[in-house]
Structure 1
């Protein structure tokens, strides 16, 4: 299975000529969707796919602009049943620009020649093309676009047209299109796709366009575009013609063009919504901002400066040939969630703001994303955790609906924190809609609690812990204490009716209903969260501890019960390894050789089996890492301590045995699987770890999941790949008393260095090679840093640099 997946990806040739440039030549339809997702530009407030400005959604191209947190709810009928779903809205398309020689047809593509170039360092997408019309007239086209990181409500598109073999009247049309729908995922065809309703539009005599729409939920979205047209010698005299219809507005500019002389249209578009902070009327705000916008080069200067500052925070110096994919992954992470996201009350969508897969929902992927942000831009981590805390009451309501106490977070979250997971999903192989039980992945709440504590470890932010973090963690702990059932025959507590991260198994083949008992990952992590509850309370100032326990009606008896229960949760074993869940050993082994011969790609083995009238529930197969997640979250020694706390003997070979057992049965149907396996294999097979790291690093660049990247990037895998360099290969471990180091560099990675933010302060540089690890503190850091290496504690003071021998 491993070699099969690697060989299929090896044929992909990453289009990166240097570490800061993504480049595509040509316009093959099979690559268009992938190219549009990877060439998206954004700033945390909005992201626009890299579709051509003249393109429309036609099954090949898919223009899309997505605003952080802009969801809408709609009803759809499937099989005679009505289902309500919430979508990240495809917002009005601000890009449309096309042209024609007078009397010709509007250019709609494809061009005769084309090259796309994404400048990752500055966040600029450049398109160079040759357009030839039916009369043989050749026009060179160069377009640059950006979504301003300095002015997040502004996006800009510069179009330069140069006639090659003709002169005459040239017409250029620019539009704003609010008639777009959500049709970017073929599996959702037949479901309600229209979310925008026209409110008004206009084309002014000065060349300004404006458009206002609203979602079904009443959110107003307003766009305004200002235009500047110039010829080779400066501003050009032009004729203007406006045109409007419901949800669409355009301005056509006409001027005389000459062969060899460029004509430039500079289009700046402002976007505001009625949900934006400090915004009254969104249309008025958009029109004022557009009118004041500088020209493209002026906008680019401020935008590039902000990117340069971001790269200073997130830069990683490493000597290996994967720096380009590393920069690409970080680029898309920072476009999805930036400082401009922090005040918007939004989460981190699993597929970025790059497409409509998973309807733009928030899953547990922040578990992977926040580990990068904690140590580089912790303010962003805090914003994500506040998104969860603001939805704590919704999680409490969900727990009460289950008949339990505390807080139960949804597997899929959107605008208000209710469960957004679908009740059915389409299997494209069989054409059948099948029941979807993914909402039983209650471990998402455990991930939220884990994120709270890891953020506190990295930052020492007691204010956040006191205001929001401890309350969130305590209510999650209360839920798991309420969910556990005592089994007298075993003398243990069990957690029943849940799903683990694997996702292939959602029921026992011998049972009538969904859910599994005693998923090992869930139970061990629940035990850990119950233990952290006491630590979180102890870390609070006495007055806040008293306020919180009083408000939650949390007394010493309940806390003692949590600690007792947390030491007696059942963890199943079989054949000397941890069982994925209770009863796992009763499942059959799959005929792996037979299925490999029949199917070249087994990553969606669940769909293959369902199409055959079978089910993955019958077999020892895994979509992605499940039990092995324990060694992703915790160092091997801490996993042994957790298991011993639960009454199990855990020898030093348990991780190796368990890893080997599940690796043979895992098809890596999720990009996250490569991240986890790379992490776990670091301590026992560095060569295999590096292979999985490379798979994770290039998962979207090479479209490893066979066409899914076009529907949105895999943000968790992108961040997870970065974190493999940041924490895994350096052995960076954040404890309350010290920063731990235990480097294990693969042979392909001779060294790396990075600047980190630790315990609320920047100015810490970590450098690691095969023989040494060096910690350097900037002189202006206020506090020293304690470092633990091989069990020995050392202190590095501000302005010092200390090198440790490995």
Structure 2
């Protein structure tokens, strides 16, 4: 099978949601799910379209609870397109039998191709081929080209094209009891004989959304155009053509989509009408679209040789590039955890960006910087949240949407028990850690002090101040402690014998707080003297506050038990779970929290984790850096600490998050290569196989997809940008036939790394950037622009 193509044959209602999500086309500005153009939201199909950053807030009353939610909006559907043969049944309506139906996603060129044969009740058979694109060249333009060939009939072919603003947010079953009508009609009409338009407005955020469509017959007899009566919020156009058997009729539908959030426009409807009027035909649009995709793949492709694994890896990169493209750099948006592929998590921004930024920073640093600006622009809201909680700095929300307020719910319903239970996920302060880590890594890869001066230093320092403010000195212990938080393991949100929420001294939070404080001090040291002074003055940072940073970095508490790092203080006193018994009773126990709550029990009583928590330390920090950090805190470190801790928590994790396989693959990569590869394959197939049973149809898992690329390009190569050099320590799995990829580093566009035959090949682009220092297992070499270098994996002769 072509590793650039994803093909589905036939129609499987149970799999349709997953297929639609995986066949989503997007360009960073907007996305459209891979639903058939003639389909409606009917419980099987869900033709959603989403514009990045377009949110709306509604309040619902459910079960006596008033619930407020902000959702990414399912905007008006631009797809509606159907046809009928000589007055027969409409495609997609009753009375049709689709004898052949095949969907093919061409990932290299970003086109969705559908072919089929439909037979109506009159026995008329019609073949059609439909190509769809969401332009990567012109981000507001989408297009559909349909070739319709009568096979056994001659007569009137009627094509119906429409724009439908009557859509609601109905893509997630568990949200359907809430108010889901985010759009109000704001008019529709004809602009010229071939153009129609539709305008809608979001209910509370007041965002105007305008669509303008041009539908034309580009091959075949001239059509007769009529305008059927349509209800408010829908506009349709019929084109009638005298068709003949075996002769194709080609119809093109080109649509422009704009919102009032767009920049450099006077009015979104005026812009949409002008844009669609000036848009080229499908062939020209497709040519430019393909060229744009070619540039993206040149900058980011990862080659591994194995055909099937390569196809899934390409699928992951394809959806990364679609969700966060260079067009994203012009927008005020964050990293949506479920992409722009559905409505799960309401389109919110979580800590998943921690897993996405390594890919972006080393390929598209401008996009990564724009996403960091999303956080920086919301510093006022984060500072206000910190102040309200009695802290300094900026307390970023666990779930972020339009304006940066906390969007995490305080109550949620367990679908097993139907009971409403407290949701304490807002206590995950480690989202600050993720933001700080992304800032620092961006600086390490780009080497741009101007980024720090511009806004990076302010963002990192304010996250650090919040983490330091969370820490208090326990005089009995003689150490700083952080109480009442949640770590990455969301199954533990408190103690079984306490009424208050949160756990104390979550090891990941505590250790990474020290790491962030160190990086904040390093960042201040890296700033030019005037820039440092201005920042400290602007933020009113007194010398005593920085002294406190230093003190915390030597006296933070890290809990231990039984020779391993404790997930949090008191973890050792929790009960062991009957893992075999629960697996025998329930089979899939990924959602152990729901299972136990339905039994009247709680995960808080057990040594049972949803996903990696302590092990996140080994995911983010090289062993030598963790050892140095612990020793500076006064804790003994021995080489067996990491493998002991990994084994301990591996046996107590149910992998209820798609991110878990990524982290576990990483942390065992140096000790159990086979297990690491198996975890990698789990992550690679997570969405393709919908391993969580229905979640992929609601939106892909962007962090997990990015994590698979990161495993190949950083974990298995040991690639680290640190101390002004690019460090490598490859241990490529035997299952890979080879590994090659391109990255951007320190101003070099298109630095190529090849790992093969126990050697590492480095090819530098012919540009004007300064030489790069590469370190590999004790070898150090400076490689200049336009040069190539081959390094053996073991110390020895270097060929340049």
TM category, shorter: over 0.9
Deviation at 1:598, TM superposition (A): 0.7
Residues 203 and 242, structure 1, Cα contact 8 Å, conserved in 2: no
Summarize deviations over 1:666-700 as a string: whole Å, max 9, x none.
Answer: 11111100110111111110110011111111211
SS in 1 for 2:789: strand
Partner of 1:102: 86
Partner of 1:756: 743
Residues 444 and 724, structure 2, Cα contact 8 Å, conserved in 1: no
Residues 207 and 240, structure 1, Cα contact 8 Å, conserved in 2: no
Q: Distance in 2 between matches of 1:694 and 1:352?
A: 21
Summarize deviations over 1:205-260 as a string: whole Å, max 9, x none.
Answer: 6131100000021110000000111444xx52424234333111000111211111
Q: Distance in 2 between matches of 1:733 and 1:497?
A: 33
1:157 to 113, 132, 144: 144
Q: Distance in 2 between matches of 1:287 and 1:778?
A: 42
Q: Distance in 2 between matches of 1:498 and 1:760?
A: 40
Partner of 2:304: 318
Report whether the alignment pairs 1:528 with 2:515. Answer: yes
Q: Distance in 2 between matches of 1:487 and 1:112?
A: 72
Q: Distance in 1 between matches of 2:587 and 2:224?
A: 58
Partner of 1:293: 279
Partner of 1:487: 474
Report whether the alignment pairs 1:219 with 2:207. Answer: yes
Equivalences for residues 382-393 of structure 1 within 5 A: 382-393=369-380
Equivalences for residues 252-651 of structure 1 within 5 A: 252-321=238-307, 322-651=309-638
Deviation at 1:65, TM superposition (A): 0.2
Q: Distance in 1 between matches of 2:18 and 2:131?
A: 19
Q: Distance in 2 between matches of 1:627 and 1:585?
A: 14
SS in 1 for 2:627: helix
Summarize deviations over 1:266-299 as a string: whole Å, max 9, x none.
Answer: 0000001111010111101101111111111111
Give the alignment's TM-score, normalised by structure 2: 0.97
Q: Distance in 1 between matches of 2:737 and 2:618?
A: 24
SS in 1 for 2:326: coil
Equivalences for residues 230-249 of structure 1 within 5 A: 230-232=218-220, 236-249=222-235
Q: Distance in 2 between matches of 1:84 and 1:486?
A: 37
Partner of 2:796: none
Residues 196 and 213, structure 1, Cα contact 8 Å, conserved in 2: yes
SS in 1 for 2:105: strand
**1:736–1:476 Cα change, 3 Å:** same
Aligned length: 788
Deviation at 1:495, TM superposition (A): 0.3
Q: Distance in 1 between matches of 2:157 and 2:766?
A: 60
Q: Distance in 2 between matches of 1:104 and 1:777?
A: 62
SS in 2 for 1:308: helix
Summarize deviations over 1:542-593 as a string: whole Å, max 9, x none.
Answer: 1111100111111222111111112211111111111111111111111111
Residues 82 and 91, structure 2, Cα contact 8 Å, conserved in 1: yes
1:173 to 160, 179, 197: 160
Report whether the alignment pairs 1:717 with 2:704. Answer: yes
Partner of 1:10: none
Partner of 1:141: 128
Q: Distance in 2 between matches of 1:767 and 1:46?
A: 34
Task: Extract structure 1 runs of 4+ deviating beyond 6 A.
Answer: none
Summarize deviations over 1:175-196 as a string: whole Å, max 9, x none.
Answer: 1000100010011121110000
Q: Distance in 1 between matches of 2:304 and 2:266?
A: 47
Deviation at 1:646, TM superposition (A): 1.7
Structure 2 gap ranges (5+): 794-800
Give the alignment's TM-score, normalised by structure 1: 0.96
Deviation at 1:647, TM superposition (A): 1.5
Per mean C-alpha deviation after superposition, the further-off stretch among 632-641 and 142-151 is: 632-641
Deviation at 1:432, TM superposition (A): 2.1
SS in 2 for 1:478: helix
Summarize deviations over 1:137-175 as a string: whole Å, max 9, x none.
Answer: 111121110000111100001112111111111211101
Per mean C-alpha deviation after superposition, the further-off stretch among 189-198 and 743-752 is: 743-752
- Aligned-CA RMSD value: 1.2
Deviation at 1:204, TM superposition (A): 5.1
Residues 762 and 790, structure 2, Cα contact 8 Å, conserved in 1: yes
Deviation at 1:713, TM superposition (A): 0.3
SS in 1 for 2:254: strand
Equivalences for residues 784-803 of structure 1 within 5 A: 784-803=771-790
Deviation at 1:356, TM superposition (A): 0.2
Per mean C-alpha deviation after superposition, the further-off stretch among 261-270 and 420-429 is: 420-429
Deviation at 1:409, TM superposition (A): 0.5
Summarize deviations over 1:757-776 as a string: whole Å, max 9, x none.
Answer: 00132142111124111222
SS in 2 for 1:342: helix
Partner of 1:46: 30
Q: Distance in 1 between matches of 2:513 and 2:218?
A: 64
